Amino acid sequence: MSKYLIAPSILTADFGKITDEVQAADAAGPLIWHLDVMDGHFVPPFSFGTQIIKAVADATDNLVEVHAMIAHPTEHFDAFIESGASRIIFHYEAAMEAPKLGGPGLGETVLRAKEAGNEVGIAINPGTSITEIEELLPEINQVTVMLIRPGWGGQQMNPELLEKVTRLREISDKSNLSLNIEVDGGVKSHNAKLCIDAGANILVVGSAVFNAESTPQESLTEIRKSLN
């Protein structure tokens, strides 16, 4: 595991030239592609489906992870993997609501994600304690700690939530889990080092990479410089 990896989210990229956008960012160095799939139910916005996942996967040799901000995640795991995703991240909160809707519970959702693909992660919202997922940590590859309310771009990162990251890293190190700890929400060049210092090793970045002020290469270079 490298010290850290940047994971660009494509929500603010130009979908009309997504191959060019992906390859431009790839040219700036090693990274992970973080694809936010939103269904308009678990979170109000709707983003994109498997066609965009496939387009990104076809354009890169880097790992593609799908962040499923959706109410019925298990129904789509196979489609995500078939489209090119290597890691599926589902929300703890969605898995806890699923049994009320006739779906599987938290543990079964982890099992189904592992059956569908190689790696599985659990995302937790700002109001969710890490104690809710602690016993499942040996069974998963990653925890994604939301530093904002999910589903809405342009929010500022809440640095108090980095306490979760520090605690997760302590648990991972103590138990020799080699857990990926990802942070998502409001990560920019001015606060990225705070996340790394707290114990994160994957930083999700969106508008900090795809914006009108700079190219993806320039933006990624600026973020990496801020971590030195």
- Could you report the per-residue pLDDT of 67-96, keeping only the tens digit for each? 999 988 899 999 999 999 999 999 999 999
**Would you please indicate which residues are annotated as catalytic (active-site) residues?**
36, 184
Q: Where residue 163 sits, what CATH number does that domain have?
A: 3.20.20.70
pLDDT at 160: 96
What's the sign of the alpha-carbon dihedral 130, 44, 77, 29? Answer: negative
Tell me if the pTM is above 0.85.
Answer: yes
The whole domain housing 52 covers: 5-226
Structural domain count of the chain: 1
Q: Are 215 and 24 in contact (CB under 8 A)?
A: yes
Instruction: Kindly tell me if the per-residue pLDDT of 2 is higher than 70.
Output: no
Q: Are 171 and 134 in contact (CB under 8 A)?
A: yes
pLDDT at 194: 96
Give the residue, 3 or 125, on which the prediction is more confident: 125
